[in-house]
Chains A and B, each alone.
Chain A
Amino acid sequence: MQGIDINKLLDTLLYHEKDPLLFNSSFFLFFFGFFLLVYLVSYRFNALKVYLLTLFSLYFFYKTCGWYVAFILIAAFFDYNISHFIYRSTNKRRKNALLVSSIILNLGLLFYFKYTNFFIGIVNDFSSNQINYLKLILPIGISFYTFENLSYTIDVYRGVFKPVTKFIDYLFFLSFFPKLMMGPIVRAADFIPQINKEPFVSETQVGEGLYLITAGIIKKVVISDFINANYVIHVFENPSLHTGLECLLAVYGYAMVIYCDFSGYSDIAIGIAKWLGFDININFLSPYQSSTITEFWKRWHISLSSWLRDYVYIPLGGSRKGVFNTYRNLLITMLIGGFWHGASWNFIFWGGLHGAALALEKLRNSFGRRHLVILPYSRIATNAFATILTFHFVCLGWIFFRCDTFNDSWIMLKQITTNFQPHLLKALVDGYWPVIIMLVIAFLLHSISTKSEGSFKQLIIKMPLPLKILYFFICLYIAIQFKQGVVIKPVYLQF
């Protein structure tokens, strides 16, 4: 083995565009260890703790997106001040104007980076003068902290709470590194009161944190990355070259990939926060156990769906302004939700699909029925059927969510419906058995009841420290094996 290269060591401390800092990197392990050491020394001195944690968070942000770290400082500065102006202002019109300016500023920045090229594309489609696309790099986390900024200013405007008195507290909230990159979207009202308390981490919190961190790492690195890199990515890259059978497995695979990736990252964020003495609400609750789309959105990316409910759906009028407006509001909310995920028609369509499903379910509920199909004699069968149906609807949505273009989405659907080729099942299993086993394990784990999950969590909480260390070590060891692991070469089913 080679010795340590000092230049490389120094170089890893800098930002690298190709290599943003993620929780599942070995750099993060060292970063986090060093950070915990500093935190332990400083946590009793409130001001020092807040400044140091903020500094670490900003460095973390720098490591993920370079000098775009400036944007979070600018956004924090403006929102901190605007919210104070709003709070102090007694003039309703002035309050409104200030709120609007904050919304324009926040959304303007988000739109500029995330959606400019999308709109240039639309203009180019309809005009003979072609505008050149801008070379923009999306500042990582901007979608999340923009929504956090907005909820803060809107809550101050609504009089839900007083604005924070110190700028550093606001910057601390906005930049808090565990949730900075991929959420959850934290509400100021939940988080800010925790900032100036002396952090207290109970035995239970250490155990819960450990459970969440390890579960998150396993979900992200062992399940999601493995299924994705070894199968899903190849099929979605060119669906027309794969049979319907392969495409269908890729859709099921992607359902697990996106869930484990996203919720795994959230779990790690929440777990790390717990270890630091901060509580962040859970973001995912076994969403594929849902038996309706309405339920799905109460279990999937909860911090986003509740944000959309509180800051889009309800202000639009929610369900208070008549039947037609309710359905309209649902659809608009979900279209915005879709667009938030990315700048393409596919995401908008995906949002619309879910919006339409939510509206239809509301309509069905108004007739007093909870399920589309009621199977005779058995509530369990009805529920199971509804769960499978809901899962497949969600999968249908994922096709549009994942494919780069509409055309690819239709090809995928066409392959599944008209070119299924079931006789290739054996070849598929022979070629990709590790992926299929992993997928089956993932779905089995996903179907575990909240109760069993709770008892496993209790088991970890009650472990003595050496056993906790061993458990943590084994999980990380497995994750590193998978991260470094050899990839399965794609095999051909069709000749």
Chain B
Amino acid sequence: MKKSNNKIGQPLILVSYVIVLLFILSLFKLPIGILNGLDRIDILADIRKDEPKPVPQKVISKNTATLAKNTSPSMDSTLIIDFDSTFPLKHFYQKLDSVKLTGKKVRIAYFGDSFVEGDEVTDELRLQLQNLFGGNGIGFLPMQSNVASLYTQVRINSSGWIDYNFRDNPYKFPLGLSGHVFHPFRNGEADYFPKTNNLPTEVKLYTGRMFNYTVVFTSTNGKSGVAALNTDKLINETVLSKGSAIKSFKITTTNEDIPFYGVSLEGAKGVYLDNYSFRGNNSILAQQISTDVMAQLNSYLHYDLIIVHYGLNALEHDKQKSPWFENSMNTLIKNIRKGFGNVPILLVSTSDLGYKYNGKYATEKAVPYMVATQKEIARSHKVAFWNLYEAMGGENTMVNWVEGDTVLAAKDYTHLNTKGAKRVGDLFFNKLMASKNYYQQQTSTNK
């Protein structure tokens, strides 16, 4: 080994040159693009001063006076804002308070996307509402679900259904509020096992218009037998069992012509929350629900609050405006008003979403703009608004929820895990109650 052959200095030359080259390159942005465009590389990114944060321009309200009147400056921005000066939500709050006395039902419909898929978030919200105001049963359930494991308050075993839905409806069947309608294929079976402490005492079945048909049903504790279905309306309600606590309930049919929308497992009184979530829904899909279907179902279910929660699927990377989303939401809210009448509407903002900027996850820049847009939509339609993004913690919530000691969200920096869903459900309940108290205080001081 000759000493002169020792190339021990070469690695340093290699590394130094590469650092210099990378540094030079970091001064330019290359015009070519593969994989969504090449990023400007910056090997010093970690030690640069923070960029000044872009603040989403406040969406200028055409009617700032309404806002000033409706939200006092002391109001917590994570509470529900009611943009209508007549406070439609007040009626919902009053109904909640009186539900124990009157023995009536209070019913909420929750329209959402994969953020609340299955029964995520809504299970915890329902549980807490029912603990406080009574109610037994999970409410509306589909005949079958791809995400049956996401229902924590009921086990669903089903088979033999063709699922026509928002994305796959070649024969244009009228779709239910959930965005689905199920047709039996040879043998349709749906078996429900409630897992709540307070078991439901009523089972109602929702089917479409058809010639006279029957279904077979068996239950543990409740009624069993053959039921003749109501058939003459666009959507028909048939009460299958009523009175005794139901431990399990199974519906069987061989009639391939019956359109099934779902069942409702509920009690005689209390609060019911129906989860109508559909993956990937950016609000446009929900326009497929006809106002007649809404009206018909509302005539059976008597909703007291409609929650509309979209946005995650409408976010466009780094975009500040989504006119199509505004248009779609305008149409949807009009449809809901037409279908459900005067039922108060609560618009929930998008949650946070993480995006990889220069190798590190941070809040997607479009999120605060989307929240502002949603707030403006609520204001323009005079419906209530809840800033979920803010209530969950605002900027970088998802980063913290994914990377924190207690993991609350999935690695896609979008969806929640079971713990996170429970946390948001709990948050929703607490903020709803706090908003209720706030309005009651406000109205009592005004008197």
C-alpha spacing A201/B410, complex, angstroms: 46
The answer to whether A26 and B46 touch (CB under 8 A), given A36-B11, A199-B8, A473-B18, is yes
Q: Check if A476 sits within 8 Å of B22, measured CB to CB.
A: yes
| Cα distance A229–B413 in the bound complex, in angstroms | 11
Question: Which of chain A's residues have a CB closer than 8 A to the CB of B9?
Answer: 40
Known: A229-B411, A469-B14, A484-B41. 11 other contacts (CB 8 A): A1-B26, A1-B48, A8-B47, A27-B46, A201-B6, A202-B6, A203-B7, A472-B14, A481-B35, A486-B356, A495-B146
- Across the interface, do A234 and B411 meet the contact criterion of CB distance under 8 Å? yes
* Structural contact, A234 and B412, CB atoms closer than 8 A: yes
Tell me, rounded to whole Å, the shortest Cβ–Cβ distance linking A439 to chain B. Answer: 15
B31-75 near A? 1/0 per residue, CB < 8 Å = 000011011011111111111000000000000000000000000
A8 touches B49 (CB 8 A): yes
User: A26-B46, A241-B147 are contacts. A469–B18 as well, Cβ < 8 Å?
Assistant: yes
B317 to chain A, nearest CB (A): 8
- Are A5 and B49 neighbours in the complex by a CB distance under 8 Å? yes
Q: For residues 371 through 400 of chain A, which have their beta carbon under 8 Å from a beta carbon of chain B?
A: none
Offer 20 A-B interface pairs, CB within 8 angstroms, sorted by A: A1-B26, A2-B50, A2-B51, A5-B48, A36-B11, A36-B12, A37-B12, A43-B8, A201-B6, A201-B10, A201-B11, A202-B6, A206-B7, A209-B11, A241-B149, A473-B17, A481-B39, A484-B41, A495-B165, A495-B280
Contact in complex: B410, A206 (CB < 8 Å): no
Chain A residue numbers with a CB within 8 Å of B410 are 234, 237-238
- Separation of A201 and B17 alpha carbons in the complex (Å): 19
Q: In the complex where A238-B410, A241-B147 touch, is A468 in contact with B48 (Cβ < 8 A)?
A: no
Q: Which of A200, A233, A473 contacts B8 (CB 8 A)?
A: A200
Interface: A33 (CB within 8 A): yes
Q: Is B114 an interface residue (CB 8 A)?
A: yes
Query: In angstroms, how far is the closest chain A Cβ from the Cβ of B180?
Result: 9
Question: What are the residues of chain B within 8 A of A472 when measuring CB–CB?
Answer: 14, 17-18
**A104 interface residue per 8 A CB criterion:** no
Q: Which residues of A contact B35 (CB under 8 A)?
A: 434, 481, 485-486
A200-258 interface with B by 8 A CB criterion: 200-203, 205-206, 209-210, 229, 233-234, 237-238, 240-241
CB-CB < 8 A to A3: which residues of B? 48-49
The contact of B46 among A12, A233, A487, by CB within 8 Å, is A12
**Docked complex Cα distance between A404 and B19 (Å):** 40
Chain A interface, >50% SS class: helix
Q: Which 10 A-B pairs give the minimum distances between C-beta atoms?
A: A275-B11, A36-B12, A484-B359, A2-B49, A26-B43, A5-B49, A2-B48, A201-B8, A495-B167, A240-B149
Whether a CB of chain B sits under 8 angstroms from the CB of A18 is yes
Query: Contacts A241-B149, A480-B41: A33 and B8 contacting too (C-beta < 8 A)?
Result: no
Question: Shortest distance in angstroms between A199's beta carbon and chain B's nearest beta carbon?
Answer: 6
Check A483–B47 contact: CB distance below 8 A.
no
Given contacts A37-B12, A277-B8, A486-B356, contact A473 B22 (CB under 8 A): yes
The residue that B5 contacts in the complex, of A18, A202, A229, A465, with Cβ under 8 A, is A202
Q: In the complex, what's the smallest C-beta–C-beta distance from B186 to chain A, in angstroms? A: 18
Task: Please determine whether A29 and B43 come into contact, CB atoms closer than 8 angstroms.
Answer: yes
Whole-angstrom distance between the alpha carbons of A308 and B77 in the complex? 60
B101 within 8 A of A: no
Which chain B residues border A469 with CB–CB below 8 Å? 13-14, 17-18, 21
- Expressed in whole angstroms, the minimum distance between the Cβ of B160 and any Cβ of chain A is 15
Q: Are B47 and A5 in contact (CB under 8 A)?
A: yes
Q: Which of B12, B278, B414 has the most CB of A within 10 A?
A: B12
Bound-state CA distance A29–B26 (Å) is 15
Asked if A9 lies at the interface with its beta carbon under 8 angstroms from chain B, I say yes
| A494 contacts partner chain B, Cβ-Cβ < 8 Å | yes
A492 to B277, CA, bound (A): 14
Chain B hits for A481, CB < 8 A: 35, 38-39, 41
A29 touches B15 (CB 8 A): yes
Contacts of A486 in B (CB 8 A): 35-36, 39, 356
Contacts of B326 in A (CB 8 A): none
How many chain B residues have a CB neighbour from A under 8 Å? 56
Q: Are B15 and A32 in contact (CB under 8 A)?
A: yes
CB distance from B218 to the nearest CB of A (A): 25
Give B260-304 interface residues, CB cut-off 8 Å to A. Answer: 278-280
Identify the closest chain A residue to B317 (Cβ).
A486
B21 touches A200 (CB 8 A): no
**Which residue, of B1, B5, B49, has the highest number of chain A Cβ atoms within 10 A?**
B49
Task: Check: A134 CB closer than 8 A to any chain B CB.
Answer: no
- Is B25 in contact with chain A by the CB < 8 A criterion? yes
Tell which of B36, B149, B403 touches A18, judged by Cβ atoms closer than 8 Å. Answer: B403
Asked whether, in the complex, the Cβ of B412 is within 8 Å of the Cβ of A490, the reply is yes
- Cα of A465 to Cα of B14 in the assembled complex, Å: 8
Q: How far is the CA of A164 from the CA of B44 in the complex (A)?
A: 42
Expressed in whole angstroms, the Cα–Cα distance for A210 and B21 within the complex equals 17
The interface residues of chain A lying within 8 Å CB-to-CB of B15 are: 29, 32-33, 36
Inside 8 A of A88's CB, which chain B residues have their CB?
none
Query: In the complex, A277→B6 CA distance in Å?
Result: 10
In the bound complex, residues from chain A placing their C-beta under 8 Å from that of B21 are 469, 473
Known: A473-B18, A484-B41. A8 touches B48 (CB 8 A): yes
B293-337 contact mask (Cβ, 8 Å, vs A): 1 or 0: 000000000000000000000000000000000000000000000
Chain A 444-486 per-residue mask, 1 if CB under 8 angstroms from chain B, else 0:
0000000000000000000001001100110011001101111
Majority SS of interface residues in chain B?
loop
- Contact A494/B12 with A5-B48, A205-B7, A234-B412 known, Cβ cut-off 8 Å: no
Chain A residues near B41 (CB-CB < 8 A) = 477, 480-481, 484
Question: Which B residues are CB-close (under 8 A) to A40?
Answer: 8-9, 12
Chain B residues with CB under 8 A of A160: none
Give chain B residues whose Cβ lies under 8 Å from the Cβ of A490.
412
Q: Does any Cβ of B come within 8 Å of A122's Cβ?
A: no
Please indicate the chain A residues that have their CB under 8 angstroms from the CB of B278 in the complex.
495
Tell which of A4, A26, A489, A492 has the most Cβ of chain B within 10 Å.
A26
Q: With A and B bound together, what is the CA distance between A210 and B168 in angstroms?
A: 53
Taken together as a complex, chains A and B put the C-alpha atoms of A275 and B51 apart, in Å, by 38
In the complex, whether B16 has a CB less than 8 A from a CB of chain A is yes
B166 is an interface residue with CB less than 8 A from chain A: yes
Contacts of A206 in B (CB 8 A): 7, 10-11, 14
- Measured between beta carbons, the chain A residues less than 8 angstroms from B47 are 4-5, 8-9, 12
* A113-132 contacts to B (CB < 8 Å): none
Asked if A477 contacts B25 (CB within 8 A), the reply is yes
Closest A residue to B361 using CB positions: A487
Q: Are A33 and B412 in contact (CB under 8 A)?
A: no
Instruction: Using CB atoms, name the residue of chain A closest to B15.
Output: A33
B165, closest chain A residue (CB): A495
* B380–chain A nearest beta-carbon distance, Å: 30
Residues on A with beta carbons closer than 8 Å to the beta carbon of B359: 483-484
Report the minimum CB–CB distance from A405 to chain B (whole Å). 13
Q: B45 contacts which of A18, A26, A205, A476 (Cβ < 8 Å)?
A: A26
Residues of A within 8 A of B146 (CB): 241, 494-495
Chain B residues, CB < 8 A from A229 = 411
**Chain A residue with the shortest CB-CB distance to B43:** A26
Query: Does B22 contact A477, Cβ atoms closer than 8 Å?
Result: yes
Shortest Cβ distance from residue B168 to the other chain A in the assembled complex, whole angstroms: 7
Question: Once the chains are docked, how many angstroms separate the CA of A490 from the CA of B38?
Answer: 21
CA distance A1 to B16 in the complex (A): 23
Bound: A277/B46 CA distance, A:
31
Does B48 lie within 8 Å of A485, measured CB to CB? no
Residues of B232-281 whose CB lies within 8 A of A: 278-280
Pair B16/A33 contact, Cβ less than 8 Å: yes
Across the interface, which residues of B come within 8 angstroms of A199, CB to CB?
A: 8
Do A484 and B356 touch (CB < 8 A)? yes
Determine whether the beta carbon of B19 is less than 8 Å from that of A29: yes
B157 at interface by CB-CB < 8 Å: no
> In whole angstroms, what is the CA distance A229 to B355 when docked?
13
Given the known A-B contacts A2-B51, A434-B35, are A26 and B44 also in contact in the complex, defined by CB atoms under 8 Å?
yes
